[in-house]
Every structure is written in structure tokens, then in C-alpha cells.
Structure 1
Amino acid sequence: QINYNFTAVGSAFTANSAPTVVHAAGVDDALSATILIGFNFPFGCVNYTEMRISSNGWVGLTNTNPGSMTGNNLSGANTFPIIAPLWDDLAVGTGGSVNYRVTGAAPNRIMTIEWLNMEWYYSGTAPAISFQAKLYETSGRIEFVYRQEAAAVTPASASIGIKGAIAGDYYSLNNSGAAPTPSKLVETTTITTKPANGQLYRWDPVTCSGAPTAGSAVATPSLRCASYTTTLSLSGASSSCGITYQWQSAPAAAGPWTNIAGATSNTATANVTANTLYRCILSCGASTAASAPATASLIASTACGLCGLTPITLPYTANGVTTCGAGNDLTAAMVTNACGSTSYLGGEDVIYTFTPTVTGLVTITFSTSGSSAGAMLYSGCPNSGGTCAGNVTGISSFSGLQTFCANVTAGQPYFLVIDSWPSPTCNGYNVTISAPNTSGSACSLSTYTGGSTAYTFETFVGTNAPQTDDVLFNSAVNLGFNFCFGGNQYSTAYIASNGAIVFNGVACFPNIQTTTYAAPGVSTGYVISAAAPVNGTSIPRNAILGPWHDIDPSLGGLIEYATLGTAPNRRFVVSYDQIPMYSCGVAAGAAQFFSGQIKIYETSGNIEVHIRNKQLCSSWNGGYAVMGLHNFDGTIYRPPTASMVNHNYPTQWTMTNTGFRWTSPCASCAVLPIEFKKFYGERIERVNKLYWETAMEEDILHFSVERSNDAENFKEIAKVEPKNLPSLYTYDDDDTKPGSMYYYRITSIEKNGERKHTNVIPLGSNLNEVLVSGIYPNPVEDDFVMSVDARSSTELQVRIYDVVGKMVKEFKPTMPIGVNQIKFSVPELPAGSYMLEVRSSDDQIITQHKLVKVD
């Protein structure tokens, strides 16, 4: 890797006298032919004799033709060194040129490459800057010198720095001031300020002196069941020019150490046929140092003939570990059955094996600090008939925590493979596997009793729901009390436009259509194609169907809800009043309607459905309607009467002035892990406030406050220390955006590694907020559509900014209540990248999105 010392000083810009011109005035986006430097120029410990000069402010030490490269990218994959005093999309201005000249005498000659009177940016109309790059013979010093010209900088975005011959090996200055900082980790590509007149940036190569630092040898991989090739590298070693390397091997730490033929660079490869130690001898002149050795081992294969299995017991947690160095023990060609995708069996892998002692459901959470990772659970040997029990693949550091569940059987061996796509070959990761959940629910919906009750249709003034068709409405509503449904406790629920109260999906069991969890604004569909209980149709799971049928509130009627009564005998009521039947409603002239109410009761946990008028639209979707209780995984359906068919698919039925009640066997339910008693939240003044109460605490390390944007992928946002006695805890999340919905859970982490989660609660979208849930297509040619979910009628400010922050377009659409698809036309915008910003009527930023315009 390149290794330079950097200094910034004041100097003077002296234009080249009688230079050789390679790009004349008016030239844009040009690259010179190969030019001889005239001497050996040392760069990154290698001597170069040729170069190519780009009009865009960079020099390449190469004889290949990569093009003029308008896009500055020091951190990119170019395989030749780049010297970039001002890399941007430049053009040669009036009276200017790109030229070079060699001065001095050997061995102290200087190659000066000059960009004189350059327009910065290419769209400029007059010279804005001149600059030079000076390459020094023998010493390898590099200098950048600048002179300001009269014109202003037009929209620009430059990099200043140097790049080595391999991707990711670079130095980038963070600004163009008097004392910038060079970085080898972060490239600054947004420099827009001219360096001062005479500003000089100097790069001096670091050369070795005295005994080098040898660091430690690393062998990757370091463990196999059969002969293999390992790659040897150094960690913590000196990298100055002038250092020589010699790798050695030995059967034991005491030696004898033998030179490996041809292994004379800072990396090498070796064929491992027995347990072997490797080290590197670094020399600087007469001074030498030996690295700490690395061991490459051969071990006997274990279960299933696989190498390096890690036996574990459940529950199990491993954080901050890596597959790097573990070797590629299981390949795509070896597995009998794919688990997700065999593409994620190409990197190095870690394979855990466990045999549960009880049968039940395990929850596996996985995250990675890298990319293209996967966690795949096999029942039985993956290379000998094992079948896939569950997986997550294609995971990156941006994916957050990923969760999947699997039913495991006592006495059956399981193998959890942590692996990756071939690139990158290895990743850091965290993994947690719960103990099998064996508990059944004493409050299962199968234990509820349905029957008739006196019909009452209540009149009240409540909160109006949006008039949107085939959706869960745009915010989870607070019930006003904790309600037990099917053994799970809820404080919020969703109101469905097609006649249901839907609770949050249970982890690993999506409850809307096939793969969707209940969330604000999700589409529910409307087709009823099979009788309940059923999974994968429009009939929602974990829901009260009152009944579920295709009605259309966008055509008229009123949906409202309220919490009525006083504690501990409150009730939550959703009222559907004169909602037109889809296809047979007012739009079709048939004027068929549905009116009914769903009621749930505090303390008793009872549920009632009261139907004033349910008509039949047999010409649409068969007129099908399903009334009753539907459990979380679509395996239990409790009808209002003893009959499973009277109010179920495919029966066609009508009803007036009728009431039904389902009696719950549980006044309360212990859905939360044993130490949790309650978990709820509220949103006040744009702060999401969380509260949880424990009934008992013992051996808890801490509570993790976790947040998600989609109710599936959770990230920790805070740790709360336990009191280890029954307590009430609070946490305020003030890092939220107007118009966004967030999902929360609390996880207790115990000293034995076990993790227990509360239920998930949603918070967000106050009455004065909106939710922007999508912008498409993106990239856009002429028009794009923005999906906006509004709790009340409001005006938005939609602004588009170019890359320098100038607003180039503004819209002020008015949003009616509900889900809106708003079309915007931008055919006049030039191709390029823009930032789209949405603000509320009180000028709060709701969201910002990158928008790409193409021709």
C-alpha cells in the first residue's frame, strides 16, 4: 500500500515556460497518449516511466487508456496509480492548456504537469483555476500548487489526493483549505472551494530506517480437514519503501525455519499438508525483524464428514464473531437440498450443530457487518439428505437484524450454516438461537365460545377512518386498554377497510395475504378463494372478521372508532355505517350497503359483532363474506355459531339486526415473557414514549430498546440498566421524523445469553403528520408517482434540489385524507442526480429521497 507523509504550506505558482502542450484551449474530456516521464519516478515503492494526462485534473501512471474519467473516484477499482491535484469534470478555458515540462538535472529532475486557465466545472464560461502537479526524481516527492483565476466555480464536486495501484488504496484530502486532513478511509468527492493562491500540498513517501516493525503473520484459511492452500499476510507490520520480505515455514515454534521459495512480498501463498507455522522476515538494509508466527492446521473431519463444526446448546448467542479464516467447508456442490439459495455457500463458513432435547419453535436472529451473507438451518446433514428448516440470505450491514423461525424436533441433529456469496469471501456477524418454545396457549381461539347476543348498534362521536379501499388504515389505533386475543396481549390494532380489526402479526407468521405483516397502509387484497381457517389469501390472520368482505368506503359511508365507558369496563368500538358494497354500491347504481359494528371489551376479553344490514352482491367475488375469529397462523377459525359454513366461504348470506358474542376463557393473558408485565407506548409532541413494567427480574444484564421501520428488522437504539426487582421503566425516543411509523419492542438479555422479547407496538403518524411510503419509478424519465398516506387533509411542499443544493422545482399538492397516488412531471430537468424533499404544512421535513433523472 502507498505510505506518504502530508504537509500543506504556502508557496508560489510559476507557470511552465515553453512547455509541451497536450490539451489546447477549448478541449473537454480528453486523455493524452502515453508520455515518457523522462526518469524513473518512484511511487508506492515501484518505479514508473510512463504517464497519461487527463484534462479532468488527474495523471495516471499507466500506458493503458481508461478514458478521461469525468467522475472523480480515488477509492475506485482502477488498477493503476492516479495523481489528482483537482479531479473533476473540467474543461480547458480561454488562453489555457494542459501541458508538461521537465526541469533540473539527474538525479534531481522535476516533471511539472500543468492545468492552466481551467474552467471549473465543464459548464463554466471562463477560467476559474490553474494548478500543477510536480513529480520529483529520486525522492518520489509529489507537490500540488494552485493559482486562482477570475471566474467563479460553477456547480462542482472535486477530489484532491493520490491513489495506489489497487482498489481502496488512496489518500483523499477532506477540503481545499490551508490545513486539510488526508484520509485513507473516506474519500471526499465534494470539494467546491478554490485553494488559495500559492497553496502547496506536499506528499513525501515514507522510507524505512532501522529495524522494521514485523507485526503478526496471518494465515487465511487456517483450518481444514485435508490439504489446502492458505494465503499469508501481515498485520501491524511496517509498509515503508525499501523493506524486503522473506516468508518462512517450520513444523514447530522451535524450528527449523526454512525459506519459502519465491515468497518475497508482503503476501504469499503456501500449500498446507501438515500442521505448519509461518512467519515473515522483514529487512531494512542490515536490520531485520521476524513477525509473530501464524499456524495453519489440519484436523480430522467430524459429524457428516464436515470440517470444523461448532457444537452448541440452546439458547445460544455469539456476537462480534467472523467467518474469516474458517475456510469454505460446505460448498454449493456438496448440499443435497438448497436452503434459500446455494449462491450463499461460496464464501468461508461457520457451521453450528445442535440437537434439541425438546420439540418446539426456535427463533433465530442474524445480522452481519459485511454483505451478501446468509444463515441457513438444515435438519440433518446438509451434505447428506438434510432438508431446509429455515433461512435468511442476501443480508448486508444495512439489513439490520433478520429473524426466521423453525420447528425443531427433539433428538434430531440440526446444522446452522453461516456463509456468504463468493464476494466478499467472509463476514463478521451476530447470531442468536432461542431455546425451543414448547408452550401452548391456554387462551387459544379454539377455546373461545361463540353464540348469539342482544343486537345493539351504538351511536357515538368517534374518530373517522380514511375512505380508502382494500387497505389497513394508515395508523395503528390505540385501543385504550390492554386486550387479550388468542393468548396474546395488544394495546393497538389496525382497522381494515373490508370489515375487520387486525392485530400485529406474530413473529415468523405474516398475517396479511402471503408474506406481509400488518402495518399502516398495507394493501389487503379482497379476493376470498377458500374457507377459513386459511393462510395466504386476503382473509387476514390474527383478526376479528366482522365480516370480511369487499366493501368500498371510497364510494361513501362512514367508518369511525372510539373507546367508550370507564375502566375497568371499557370497550373499543369500530363502526361501519352505510358502506357501499364494491361493484354493487352507489357507483354501480345498485345502492347495496353494509352497516355493522365490532366491539371488544376490557377485563372480560369478550368480542361482539353487531350487524344492522349485510346485503349480498353476488355478481362480484361471489358475494363471499367470512365472519368470526381467525388466529395468527391461519389454523383456527371460530365462527359465530356452531356451524363452520354458515358464515364462511362459499356460503352466500345476508343478515339484519343480529348480534353475536365470543366469550374469552381468559380475563388476561401472559403473552409477555415471565419478567414482563406490561409494554405500551404513546406519541406526545412528536416524541415516542415507551413504558414497560416487570413482574419479576433476576440475572438480567440489561434491557435493549429496539426499533424497526417495517416490524421485522429491529435495531437496538438504547440500553436500559435493570433494577433486578419488579419495576416500571420508561424511554423517550425523540429521534423520529414526522410522518414516519416506527415499531418497538423491549428485549431482556439475561446473563446466560437468553433473550426474551415483548410484543411489538407501532407508534407514529399523528393527526398533523403524513407518511410518504414510496416514489416510483426511480430513475425517472418524465413523470414519477409519490404514494402519500394522510391522516387529515393537508398541503405538502415537494421540492427538488440539484447536486449543489439549488431548488430547481417545487410543487404544493393538497392531500385528501387516506392513501394518495400523486403524479409529478419533470420532463424539463436535465439528466442527473437530485434530492427530493417533502415538507409538511408547518415546514417540517417529512422525508428526503435521492431522485435520478434520465433521458
Structure 2
Amino acid sequence: MRTTEPTVHLPQHPLRARWAAWAVAAWIPCTAAMAQCGTTVYDTGGAGGNYGNNQNLTWTYCAPPGQLLTLTFTAFNTEAFWDELSVHNGPTNGSPQLGIFSGTALPPSFTSTVGGCLTLWFTSDNSVTQPGWAINITCAVPPPPPANNNCSGATVLPVLTTCTMLPFTNVSATASGTNPPPTCSTPPNTDVWFTFTTGASGQVFIDTQAGSMADAAMQLYSGTCAALALVACNDDEDLLGGLLMPEIDRRCATLNPFTTYYIRLWGYGGATGTFSICVSAPSAPSAQQEDCTGAYTICSDQQINNNTNFSGCVADLNATNRGCLMGNERQGTWYFFSPSASGTAALTIQPSANIDYDFAIWGPMATITCPPVGNPTRCSWAYPPNVPGYPGAAAFRTGLGNGAVDNSENEFGNGWVAPLNIITGQMYIMYIDNFDITGQAFTLDWTLTNGASLDCTVLPVELMGLQATAQPGAVMLSWTTQTEDGTAHFTVERSADAETFVPIGQVPAAGHSLAHLDYSFIDNAPLPGTNYYRLRVVHLDGTVQTSPTASAIHDGTGAVLRVVPNPANDHLTVLLPGAPATTVHYRLATAQGRVLRHGTATLGPDDDRIRLQVADLPEGLYLLHVEDANGQPLGSARVALSRPQAGNR
């Protein structure tokens, strides 16, 4: 342990840089006493008093050789925004900053590198003092490096439809030295590794969350551990907002489908601690609700709850159509609605917290056009601090009604514009955005009067992702609906030339649904060669929609691909009799589409099989798909994995 004389540096954080400049001019550094492992340390006011004004102090705590030192905050209270404590990974306040804190929120714990130091830097202004902090200091022998310390031991992350944070640590992680090095942040001296496989869309969103480590970075790679290629790197999700954990968003600039990628994550400036990470992707390739083409259809006088952390892939708003929304699109979502009966529509948008939401409505129109054309019919860009009652919750509400008579308002409005007289059969587009870009939710409530009601005439069914997959002697069709209203059935049609289609079957529809629904149909008598398929979506009112076309190749023998044994135990063999001598690509996926095995194999005149080890996979039903080098399907099969019970053979 040692005592240090504090010196003023200008570290990376913009807030700290501002106060450090003041410190150079006005504050006199003081010497701070040190404490030993296993003790509790306080600010200059001690256990029961307040710190002083005009302070500029550093305290440095160093671990014994071969050990880790951890600082755990048990109390924290400083004058918010004015008196700040920063934590640095090293022996001075010029060392990499791990976090900066002010107010009453308890900071996370911080752990040094092996034998390393942590430094606290505190500055206070010339008025108002608070009780400060209490910190427990502990020292311990470091645990062994985590299992994913190197690329070869990368932890497999599931790709789910929503972000499900999974906890990990990089405590005791060592520099893997893997090339190429990352393209952002500080050197990856405490890196750990993850891997995942993309789905059919190639879309992914990789997000992280602070634990005891509050500042990290990550690099995304393609390839293999022996030959990695740089894809993307991120250090801070939102530096100005103080969010120092990384994210990588590839929902627009998509990755390659059914491909394995690697994530290298490390602490900024060598920081270590706990953190969480998730990889998410939509269940099927689709337009985002953050873009006009992915708008959600409002089907009735229903309450809407939504939030987003995304601004979409398409810039739908510009100077020609944004109206009062001078910020264009800021983390917003799109909606369609159409009246089944004319009348008056009012609505209230209530944020879940004191967040600045704005909105605009375009219409009436005979058909939906994305992006909307011309300025909106109703628009509010009110700024809550300008609204009477601020900072109360009422100042953050916005909508149609509440006595308003204006059709549009700028930042000096009160959040309310006039109700809308809606017309039967006409269509409207609505955009609701989160100006503060916080990702926090809102609730929308309708007030429909004078006979008004809403229906789903804009998009009676949102049909997503028709797929055709060749199987032994058959072709399996699968598709998904996001919403349905008044859907009677799906007629499956087939063609040999993609021009003349004939019906080959019918699948009943749900009728009315706001949930994600999966459908399938098996063509047990496909034509030799390429089969083209489409759906005719028939509604209860007699109207019909036609889906895009999907295709699959069938060789006419019914014996292109076979799996033995099936069910399988610890291994399986894929037989491809009659297949040409070529390189083939295979993938084995779960019923939910997650690829667990994939690779290439070379077939020869005397070897028409692929051998796969599956002993590490859980029991269940899987889908095997094989393509030639040009991406043309050679066949698919359902594979069951079943393990003998104890005592059975």
C-alpha cells in the first residue's frame, strides 16, 4: 500500500474533463491516507460526517503481489452533477477511467488487475456537501482464467427473438493475443470469447449490460479462430449518455446467413468484472416496425404498449414530409389504422417515465404509401420543459384532444393537437418517436366518439417468409403470419415455370390473431426439377392476397437424401445416392432455426455420405439441409435424436 500525491489529469469522460478544467483553476490538491485489505474506507468526513468543499483528492489502493483488490461501495451520496468521484484502473487519476459517479446511486464494485492498483479521484465545488461514501476493501487470490479465455474455448451464445441477458465474467482473463487485433478501444488485455451462428435473415443485435464491470469493448469477427476477419468493433454504446458498455447492431447491414461469427469482449483499460451479453434476431426476415414498411396495424380501440432501441433501416422522414418533427426519426415506431365507421378519434400517449415523446399522423389516403407523402395532418413536437406543470408527469403526455384546436405545434406547444375526424375506409399512417432516445416504453389509449371504430382493412394479414424445402419424396412449405384479421384459409399453388400456377392444397387460417403464427404444408407429389410455390390468402369477405414465390428442386426419385440411423444416438450418416461428385454444404438446425452443426464435405464416386457426431446435442427433433456448391438444395430431412434410458439397450 502507498500514499499518493494527487495530480490533475484530463481523462476520457467529457463530464470529468469539464470539472477537471475547473479543478486546475480553483482547487488545491490534498494528501489522502491509505487503508489495508479487509478494512472500510470513507471520504474525508469519515463514517459520520460530510466531505468538505473545494476538494480535489486522489486515493490509490494497490493489491498485494499475486492478488486482486476489490472495492465494494456500501454507501454513496454526493451533490448530484457537481461533486464527482471517478474510479481509475491504475496508480494515478491519469489511468484509464472505469466510471464516474455523482448523486445517490450506488456505484458497482471494481476489481484491479493481478497485483494492480485502483485510484479514486474526488472533486467538490464551493457549496453544499453530503455524507460521501463508504467502501469495503478486500483482497483475494485470483480464480483461474475463465473457460472462454481464448478463441478456441469461445462460449456459444443462443440467437433468440428477444434479448435475454446471460451473465459472464472476465476476472482473471489474460490477453489471448489473437490476430487481427481489434480496431477500437484500449488493448484487449482481459479478453474473453463468444460465438454464435446467424439465421436465415443474417440480422443480429448484440448488446451488453454492466455488472461489476461498467466499461467494456467488443470486436466482431468472421472466419475461424485460425483465420479471423474483422467485421465490426464498438467501445461505447452512448458515451455522452454515460453508457460505456458496447453494442453491435447488424439489423440493417446484415451478416451472412447461417454463418458462424466470433465476439471478443474485454474491459476498457484492462478492467475486469461481471457483465451480461445477448444476441437477438427477428424470427423471420421482415421489415422493422421502426420503418414505415414494417408498421403495425391497429385493429380496434386497443391499448398499445411499445418501446424500441432502434431507428430503423430506412430514412422515411425528411424535409418534404416530416412536418413539425424537426429531428426526423428518433427511435420511433410506425402504425397503420383505418376506420370501419366514421367519427372522431382522440388519443393519449403516456410515457412510462418522464421521457419526451412526439408523434405525427398522415391521412386520410386511399392506399398506404411508404414513406408518407407530404406533411402530416396532425403533428406535435412539444418540449416538456416548455409545458405548464413540468417536471410533473402531465407535462410529458401528448396526443389528440385535451381541448386542443391546433393541427400542429412546435417545441413551444403543450403536447396536444386537435382530435381527428376519421372517414370510413380511408387509411392513416402514424409515427411515434422517443426524442430522448432512451428505449423506454409508452402506452397509447384511444378515445373514439361520434360512432368511430377501427378495423384491420389496411393489412388484413401480415404474411412473412414463405419457404420451400426439399425432402425425400416431398417438399415442405412453411410460412408465418404476424397478424390476421378475417383470414379464412390459405390456398397452396404450384407451378413448373413460375407463370402458370394450379392449386394443390388448402390450410385453414386462424381468422383473427395479433400473435406470431407458424403454418406448414407438405407437397407429397412434387414435380421433377424445380417446383415454384405461392400462397393465395383468402379472406372471409372474399378478397384475396397473393404471396411472393418460393422454389425447391426435386430430382423425381424420392431418394436424394437419407439419414441413418434415424432416430440417432451419438452419430448419424447422411446418404446422398446419385449425387454428383461435388462439394456440398450442410447444416443441422433446431426446430426453432438455430444452427448447431454446419460445414462442407466433398463427395466422390465412391463416397456419397456425410458423417456427423451429435453426442453432445440434446434429444429432440432437428432439420438437416444439404445444398450444392451453388446453393441449390440437394435435400432436407427431419432427424430425431434419442438416447437409451439407463438400464436399457
TM bracket (short chain): 0.3 to 0.5
Q: Which is bigger in relative contact order (C-alpha 8 A, separation at least 6)?
A: 2
TM-score, structure 2 as length reference = 0.33
